[in-house]
Amino acid sequence: MSIAIRHVSKRFGTFTAVDDVCLTVETGSLTALLGPSGSGKSTLLRIVAGLEAADSGEVLLAGEDATGLAPQKRDVGFVFQHYAAFKHMTVRDNIGFALAVRKRPKAEIRARVDELIQLVQLQGFAGRYPAQLSGGQRQRMALARALAARPRVLLLDEPFGALDARVRAELRDWLRRLHEEVHVTTVFVTHDQEEAMEVADRVAVLNAGRLEQTGTPAELYDAPESEFVMRFVGGAHRLGDRLVRPCDLTLRRDHDDGCVEVEVERITVLGADAKVDLADGAGGRLVARLRRDELEELDLERGEILWARPTPGTASAA
Amino acid sequence: MPRAGLRIVALGYLTLVLLAPLAMVVRRTFAHGLAPVWGSLSGPETVHAFEITMLVAAIAVPLNTVFGVVAGLAIVRRRFPGRGLLNAFVDLPLALSPVVVGLALYLLYGRTGWFGGWLLGRGIHVLFAWPAIVLATVFVSVPFVAREVIPTLRELGDEQEQAARTLGASAWQTFRRITLPSIRWAVVYGVVLTTARCLGEYGAVAIVSGRIVGKTETATLRVDGAYQNLDATGAYSVALVLAAAAVAVLVAMTLARPNEQVA
Amino acid sequence: MPAASATAGPIPARARGRPRVAPTDVLPLGFVACFLTAVVVLPIAALVWESRRQGARSFWRVVSSPEAVAALRLTLGAAVVVALVNAVLGTVTAWVLVRDEFRGKTLVNAVIDLPFALPTIVAGLTLVALYGPGSPVGVDLAFTRGAIVLALCFVTLPFVVRAVQPVLQELDTEMEEAARSLGAGQAAVFRRIVFPNLLPGILSGAALALARAVGEIGAVVLISGNLPYRTEVSSVFVMSRIESGDAAGAAAVAVVLLCVSFALLLAIGGIRLLVTRHERA
């Protein structure tokens, strides 16, 4: 089912959460809503789910106006950041809830729940209570629960935000593979640009309620349309009058036009890469990313003065 | 669910059961004007009734406050055999009829009771004298401070206290500087509830005090006594003073309430 | 005897592998145990002793006497009615206080605690004033069983409300949102999600209300008229036995009330365990 968001706005008192956003999500795609805290991405997602009402604009699901429709009628599955598990029900009853509420026959519910438990790999946990599961298991249960009634859209609100780094990485991978198996139109909200880039087909970047840019991860990285997008996706720093990405910064001991004088503040080794913190003499700070062999070649010392310029042939925005 | 409908049901129930009766007391008290009320309240039996009520509260409330804090700490912070039983006995007065309490004390300290005979032999009068009233009042108001302190202590955890110990504080210093301040409002709330209970005790005290007018008649017993003697003004005026005290208690409760219960 | 030096003395208990028991560990516990024994346990023990002193047969004779049975029936019956009324209306009141907004809500919330703050005898007097002879609303419930139920409703009003309020407050609204997103209508959300989570609170509030109602005397004694077999509750019966000098008879019925109290306390404890069962990882 496709989603069309047309000129949707939402305010909470004097605070504008969503400001005239237009976005289209194609059927079967996996889209990320990316942005910092307060950018309106969660609010927008909840408007699509019907958990919030937009002040103006329309939401179309499969081409039909769903703006005034209650969440029960939208055929949408929603996954919350803090799981919203029904703590008084077992895992099995949690997952089967959507079907129980639709008064499906017990045998059908049982079969579907078993199928989903296999899908999310919670075998053996069916009779447990949510409090007895780990965070990652609870979120997998929440996903299974949202999928039970075969919704046409799956919405996830910072689904991995409450989990620790290793579990987060595992579940990202897992969500991607799940999407390839189930093919439901999926939209998820995240503030982690790495997560968005790794998981989604298309990314929509939001800032202070406005939609900054939409595109594939490669498009956003290679052709950012604003300073915000360039900084937020992939990171960038000011070098003179341009913005340069850390990995597009060349450091040299000789200088020519277009070079800026910098001082080495700190050198950090990060496994196969290295990070060099630099100060540009005008109070600005930069970061350069190098490979280990490049770092060894330069043989840098703390406090050393160098010249920095953008690597020729790379993107940079003024 | 129809919002307005629910609201009307709730408010109607409250008016019927709480507010209307209270309004009546004010009306009945001043039915014959101000002078008879003043006459009643300044009469010797009434003055004495208030005196003994306040004396008993002045003893029972501090005792139960200290007990409540110490018991709360013991129950939450330590594991010991019989902890569950201790907790149950602390809660018992909440579920127990005051008449049962009065009878139990009557049997223990009466002439043929375990302690009664021994004490009377030494000239110590417990029953039908103020010590019995104190014992009865202490019994019925045991739980209140403990029950406020216990959940607060549980929620707080003992990390702050552990930190204090690592910084060199002794047990007493930790208690005084860390624990006590953090349970302060729970204790205040518990004290308010305890005081209200002490002022309002009737059933147990009715049995153990002997209701001797001018000597062992508390304010609540005075209300009953005046009513039985068809002294309506007397009964209502004392009741009004007690009701005014109850409103003061309500205000104190609202101000000291440990957690916000209204959205 | 030479003064023992710090290094030449016996090995302290700690070094031997046993933790030293400081006075600060034992003293508070000792105080608590002694206080509780003196104030609560001993009187109860004396009561139980007295009830058994004249033997089991005498005990049963009193407890099964027509007047005692009538009183107990009335007491338990009225208490159950009151607990049920409170379970429903108390929950509604808690719901309105937590989920609804209206002017004066803070005042209403404070007033709920009035029965906790007001002496029971004063409560009884106010009920007589309003619903007894000379009532301005034209009803006269004095000497009726209805009066007893009304008086008990007054004193037990806060229990269910205050038990349910914090549960409603803490209830994760995201669970309700999740249920709605999964297709549940308003009624289903209440029935399947909200109510099961409120139930332990309602039950423990109702149990406390029941315990209070069974033992109440001050609020009931004025308006009920205490007519034996008609409007005499068990607490009044016990008092009249004491006034007649029949301590053993009074003790017998008092012990029955004591058992009811213990049973209700156990039930409340059981409910608490049941709730934490879901939450024990």
Rounded mean pLDDT of B249-262?
70
Q: What is the dihedral of CA B130, B136, B137, B139, to 10 degrees?
A: 140
Q: Do A202 and A257 sit in the same domain of this protein?
A: no
Q: Does residue A318 fall inside a structural domain?
A: no
Contact between B89 and C222 using a beta-carbon 8 Å cutoff: no
Q: Does residue C216 fall inside a structural domain?
A: yes
Chain A hits for C281, Cβ within 8 Å: 131-132
Q: What is the CATH number of the domain that holds A188?
A: 3.40.50.300
Instruction: Supply the pLDDT for residue B260.
Output: 43
Asked if B26 is an interface residue toward chain C (Cβ–Cβ < 8 A), one would say: no
Nearest CA in chain C to A147: C182
Tokens read off for A68: 């005034």
Q: Do A140 and A176 sit in the same domain of this protein?
A: yes
- Collapsing DSSP to helix, strand or coil, C63 comes out as helix
Contact between B96 and C28 using a beta-carbon 8 Å cutoff: no
Of A275, A87, A17, A150, nearest to C172 by C-alpha is A87
Nearest CA in chain C to B249: C117
Number of compact structural domains in chain C: 2
Asked if C77 is an interface residue toward chain B (Cβ–Cβ < 8 A), one would say: no
Angle (nearest 5°) at CA B202 between B198 and B204: 90
Chain B hits for C137, Cβ within 8 Å: 20
Instruction: Supply the pLDDT for residue C259.
Output: 94
Which tens digit of pLDDT belongs to each residue from C40-66? 999 999 999 988 888 888 899 989 999
Q: Which among C108, C115, C217 has CB closest to B99?
A: C217
Q: Do C49 and C69 sit in the same domain of this protein?
A: no
Q: Which among C182, C183, C281 has CB closest to A132?
A: C281
Q: Do A75 and A187 sit in the same domain of this protein?
A: yes
Contact between C182 and A131 using a beta-carbon 8 Å cutoff: no
Q: Does residue A316 fall inside a structural domain?
A: no
Q: Does residue C6 fall inside a structural domain?
A: no
Rounded mean pLDDT of B119-136?
89
Q: Does residue C70 fall inside a structural domain?
A: yes
Q: Which among C175, C188, C280 has CB closest to A101?
A: C188
What C76-80 contacts at long range (C-beta under 8 Å, 24+ apart), as own/partner pairs, is C76/C214, C76/C260, C78/C145, C78/C148, C78/C149, C78/C152, C78/C213, C78/C233, C79/C152, C79/C210, C79/C213, C79/C214, C80/C210
Last residue of a domain, one of A201, A228, A255: A228
Contact between A86 and C178 using a beta-carbon 8 Å cutoff: yes
Last residue of a domain, one of A195, A228, A261: A228
Instruction: Supply the pLDDT for residue B212.
Output: 87
Following DSSP, what letter does each residue of chain B receive, concatenated? --HHHHHHHHHHHHIIIIIHHHHHHHHHHGGG-HHHHHHHHHSHHHHHHHHHHHHHHHHHHHHHHHHHHHHHHHHHH---TTHHHHHHHHHHHHHS-HHHHHHHHHHHHSTTSTTHHHHHHTT---TTSHHHHHHHHHHHTSHHHHHHHHHHHHHH-SHHHHHHHHTT--HHHHIIIIIHHHTHHHHHHHHHHHHHHHHH--HHHHHHHTT-TTTT--HHHHHHHHHHTT-HHHHHHHHHHHHHHHHHHHHHHHHH-SS----
Contact between B100 and C215 using a beta-carbon 8 Å cutoff: yes
- For residue C190, the enclosing domain spans 64-279
Instruction: Supply the pLDDT for residue A68.
Output: 85
Q: What is the ipTM of this complex?
A: 0.87
Per-residue pLDDT in tens (0 to 9) along chain A, 318 residues: 899 999 999 999 889 999 999 999 999 999 999 999 888 899 999 999 988 899 999 999 988 898 888 888 888 999 998 888 898 889 999 999 989 888 899 999 999 999 999 999 999 999 999 999 999 999 999 999 999 989 999 999 999 888 888 889 988 988 998 899 888 999 999 999 999 999 999 999 999 999 999 999 999 998 889 989 999 988 888 887 788 888 888 888 887 777 888 899 999 999 899 999 998 878 888 888 989 988 888 888 888 888 888 887 666 544
Q: Does residue C16 fall inside a structural domain?
A: no
Q: Does residue A74 fall inside a structural domain?
A: yes
Confidence of residue B200 (pLDDT cuts 50, 70, 90): very high
Instruction: Supply the pLDDT for residue A315.
Output: 60
Tell whether the model's pLDDT for residue C2 goes beyond 70: no
Q: Do A201 and A147 sit in the same domain of this protein?
A: yes
Instruction: Supply the pLDDT for residue C10.
Output: 57
CA distances from residue B12 to A188, B5, B247, C251 in whole angstroms, order as listed = 48, 10, 21, 41
Which tens digit of pLDDT belongs to each residue from C142-195? 788 888 998 999 899 999 999 999 999 988 889 999 999 999 998 999 999 999
User: How many residues are present in chain C?
Assistant: 281
Contact between B7 and C100 using a beta-carbon 8 Å cutoff: yes
Q: Do C230 and C166 sit in the same domain of this protein?
A: yes
Q: What is the CATH number of the domain that holds C70?
A: 1.10.3720.10
CA–CA distance, A288 with A276 (Å, rounded to integer): 5
Chain A hits for C278, Cβ within 8 Å: 87-88, 129, 131
Nearest CA in chain C to A76: C181
Q: Do C169 and C233 sit in the same domain of this protein?
A: yes
Q: Do C36 and C89 sit in the same domain of this protein?
A: no
Instruction: Supply the pLDDT for residue C11.
Output: 52
Asked if C280 is an interface residue toward chain A (Cβ–Cβ < 8 A), one would say: yes
Asked if C279 is an interface residue toward chain A (Cβ–Cβ < 8 A), one would say: yes
CA distances from residue A298 to A252, A294, A301, B98 in whole angstroms, order as listed = 8, 6, 9, 88
Nearest CA in chain C to A96: C182
Q: Do A176 and A266 sit in the same domain of this protein?
A: no
Residue B6 makes CB contacts below 8 A (sequence gap 6+) with: C92, C95, C96, C100
CA–CA distance, C205 with A225 (Å, rounded to integer): 61
Q: Does residue A189 fall inside a structural domain?
A: yes
Contact between C123 and B21 using a beta-carbon 8 Å cutoff: yes
Residues in chain A whose Cβ is within 8 Å of chain C: 49-51, 70-72, 76-78, 80, 82, 84-88, 97-98, 100-102, 129, 131-132, 142, 145-146, 148-149
Q: Does residue A315 fall inside a structural domain?
A: no
Q: Do C32 and C149 sit in the same domain of this protein?
A: no
Chain B, 205 to 234: residues with Cβ < 8 Å from chain C are 206-207, 219-221, 223-224, 227
Contact between B94 and C208 using a beta-carbon 8 Å cutoff: yes
Q: Do A142 and A288 sit in the same domain of this protein?
A: no
Q: Do A199 and A173 sit in the same domain of this protein?
A: yes
* Contact between residue B11 and residue C107 where contact means Cβ atoms under 8 Å apart: no
Q: Do C238 and C128 sit in the same domain of this protein?
A: yes
- For residue A270, the enclosing domain spans 238-310
* Contact between residue B69 and residue B145 where contact means Cβ atoms under 8 Å apart: yes
Q: Does residue C237 fall inside a structural domain?
A: yes
Tell whether the model's pLDDT for residue B232 goes beyond 90: no
Q: Do C30 and C125 sit in the same domain of this protein?
A: no
Q: Do A138 and A276 sit in the same domain of this protein?
A: no
CA distances from residue B225 to B239, C115, C150 in whole angstroms, order as listed = 12, 22, 23
Q: Does residue A150 fall inside a structural domain?
A: yes
Burial class (CB in 10 A: 0-12, 13-18, 19+), B172: exposed
Contact between C264 and B171 using a beta-carbon 8 Å cutoff: no
Chain C hits for A49, Cβ within 8 Å: 181
Tokens 């806060």 belong to: C158
Q: Do C178 and C264 sit in the same domain of this protein?
A: yes
Q: Do A121 and A206 sit in the same domain of this protein?
A: yes
Instruction: Supply the pLDDT for residue C103.
Output: 82
Contact between B114 and C46 using a beta-carbon 8 Å cutoff: yes
Q: Do A125 and A191 sit in the same domain of this protein?
A: yes
Rounded mean pLDDT of C120-133?
87
Q: Does residue A213 fall inside a structural domain?
A: yes
Asked if C197 is an interface residue toward chain A (Cβ–Cβ < 8 A), one would say: yes
CA–CA distance, C133 with C214 (Å, rounded to integer): 26
CA–CA distance, B132 with A31 (Å, rounded to integer): 77
Q: Does residue C93 fall inside a structural domain?
A: yes
Q: Which among A78, A100, A149 has CB closest to C178?
A: A78
Q: Does residue C1 fall inside a structural domain?
A: no
Tell whether the model's pLDDT for residue C269 goes beyond 70: yes
Q: Do C33 and C124 sit in the same domain of this protein?
A: no
Q: Does residue C181 fall inside a structural domain?
A: yes
Nearest CA in chain C to A69: C181
CA distances from residue A216 to A200, A202, B211 in whole angstroms, order as listed = 8, 4, 88
Q: Do C227 and C255 sit in the same domain of this protein?
A: yes
* Contact between residue C188 and residue C179 where contact means Cβ atoms under 8 Å apart: yes
Number of compact structural domains in chain A: 2
Q: Do C29 and C162 sit in the same domain of this protein?
A: no
Q: Does residue A233 fall inside a structural domain?
A: no
Q: Do A242 and A204 sit in the same domain of this protein?
A: no
Confidence of residue C1 (pLDDT cuts 50, 70, 90): very low
Last residue of a domain, one of A209, A228, A247: A228
User: How far C106 CA sits from the closest chain B CA (Å)?
Assistant: 7
% of chain B at pLDDT higher than 90: 43
Q: Do A8 and A135 sit in the same domain of this protein?
A: yes
CA distances from residue A102 to A66, A71, B163 in whole angstroms, order as listed = 21, 14, 54
- Which of C180, C182, C195 should one mutate to test binding to chain A, selecting the residue with the greatest count of A CBs within 10 A? C182
Q: Do C49 and C68 sit in the same domain of this protein?
A: no
